Structure 1
Amino acid sequence: MKENRLRVLKDRLVLLAVDESGMSTVEYAIGTIAAAAFGAILYSVVTGDSIVSALTNLITRALNTAV
């Protein structure tokens, strides 16, 4: 009887050690945080003065072309 309980306990511990069902949730969370950080960095770069002025100059030159 005692050996049977120890075997069941051992089997449960082995199952818990190799179970990876929660890994996808952690990977999604890390991916979401990384995407948000990348978006914040990209937003700060695109809204910076040098990028805005470069895009404004490019659009102005494109609209003022003489045909």
Structure 2
Amino acid sequence: MEIANQIRAVQVRLTLLMVEDDGMSTVEYAIGTIAAAAFGAILYTVVTGDSIVSALTNIISRALNTNV
């Protein structure tokens, strides 16, 4: 009967090892990295667009204009 209990204990441990999911897997890291890179590319495109550059230029020009 002792051997049967040991076999059962090993089966339970193996089942727990297969079921446990601590942390992210490599695929989740890859998807997160791709999403972050895509967000960075979109943000770069928006910030370097003509409307943003001209708006920032106008703000800086008004700030440096000392004709009071």
TM-score range, shorter chain: 0.5 to 0.7
For residues 14 and 58 of structure 2, the distance between their equivalents in structure 1, rounded to whole angstroms, comes to 67
1:38 to 2:39 alignment: yes
Deviation at 1:27, TM superposition (A): 8.7
Deviation at 1:14, TM superposition (A): 2.9
For residues 43 and 67 of structure 2, the distance between their equivalents in structure 1, rounded to whole angstroms, comes to 34
Q: Percent identity?
A: 59
Paired residues in the alignment total: 64
For residues 26 and 49 of structure 1, the distance between their equivalents in structure 2, rounded to whole angstroms, comes to 38
- 1:54 alignment counterpart: 55
SS at match of 2:24: helix
1:24 to 2:24 alignment: yes
The CA RMSD measured in Å over matched residues stands at 2.8
TM-score normalised over the length of structure 1: 0.63
Uncovered stretches (5+) of structure 2, i.e. residues with no partner: none
TM-score normalised over the length of structure 2: 0.62
For residues 16 and 42 of structure 1, the distance between their equivalents in structure 2, rounded to whole angstroms, comes to 40
